[in-house]
């Protein structure tokens, strides 16, 4: 019982001593000094081999890291070239859709790199807007309200156009969820006129979901969700 108790209590005590920073050497008295020395020397040799192995692994890891960095930089440059090419295509399409949404005197530009104050190049996706009569660009995030909403719709339509074309997909319908948010009455009228033209030219059905009371004469059919004390019902009016 004493031996069992000793084996249960001793390991936690030894662990506490080692964790406090004390170098603890354990000698087993039932073996000779020669055997103890042999075991310690074997342990030292084992640690030396382990250190040598770890150094080799560290050297190999550093070499692998440098190779990874080389290929990462190469793929980044290739990817940026591909992105620039795609963004140029997106830029042309977005400006075309922006003009259809009543932003004919505006221009939007996309960039993946820009010059910092220190003169270096920073790789960052940036969207610039050129308001009418203004030569210097304005960051997209500086705008709000109807203008931002129109450009978001223009870029969304352009991106959808490019992705569908590259995928070889020709859809016959579109769904727009609350596209008139923050828009003025003039902006809403431009949007509806743009959607009418788009539906006719692309031969698509366009479903517009909105909380605004839009002019009913511009739609082939209108489904109104009516909520009352009796519940929710749908009303259809051509």
What's 31-46 look like in SS3? CCHHHHHHHHHHHHHH
CATH topology of domain 34-170: Rossmann fold (3.40.50)
Average pLDDT over residues 79-106: 84
% residues pLDDT > 90 (the chain): 9
Which pLDDT belongs to residue 114?
A: 56
**For residue 81, what are its two tokens?**
């070239």
DSSP 138: E
CATH topology of domain 171-238: Rossmann fold (3.40.50)
Average pLDDT over residues 74-100: 78
Which pLDDT belongs to residue 73?
A: 65
DSSP one-letter string for 40-104: HHHHHHHHHHHHHHHHHHHHHHHHHHHHHHHHHHHHHHHHHHHHHHHHHHHHHHHHHHHHHTT-T
Domain boundaries, the chain: 34-170, 171-238
pLDDT tens column, 193-204 = 888 888 888 899
Query: How distant is the alpha carbon of residue 27 from its chain centre?
Result: 59
- pTM score: 0.58
Cβ neighbours of 103 (radius 10 Å) = 22
């Amino acid at each position: 019982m004493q031996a069992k108790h000793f084996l249960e209590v001793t390991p936690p005590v030894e662990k506490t001593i080692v964790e406090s920073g004390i170098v603890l050497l354990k000698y087993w008295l039932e073996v000779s000094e020669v055997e103890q020395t042999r075991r310690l020397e074997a342990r030292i040799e084992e640690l030396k081999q382990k250190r040598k192995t770890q150094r080799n692994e560290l050297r190999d890891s550093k070499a692998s890291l440098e190779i990874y960095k080389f290929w990462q930089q190469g793929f980044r440059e290739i990817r940026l070239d591909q992105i620039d090419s795609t963004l140029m295509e997106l830029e042309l399409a977005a400006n075309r859709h922006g003009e259809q949404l009543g932003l004919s005197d505006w221009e939007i530009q996309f960039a993946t790199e820009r010059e910092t104050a220190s003169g270096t190049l920073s790789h960052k996706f940036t969207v610039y807007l050129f308001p009418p009569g203004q030569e210097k660009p304005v960051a997209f995030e500086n705008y709000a309200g109807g203008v931002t909403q129109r450009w978001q719709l223009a870029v969304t339509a352009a991106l959808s156009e490019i992705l569908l074309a590259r995928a070889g997909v020709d859809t016959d319908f579109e769904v727009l969820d609350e596209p008139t948010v923050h828009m003025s009455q003039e902006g809403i009228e431009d949007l509806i006129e743009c959607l009418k033209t788009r539906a006719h030219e692309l031969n698509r059905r366009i479903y517009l979901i909105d909380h605004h009371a839009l002019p009913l004469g511009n739609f082939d059919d209108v489904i109104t969700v009516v909520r009352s004390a009796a519940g929710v019902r749908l009303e259809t009016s051509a």
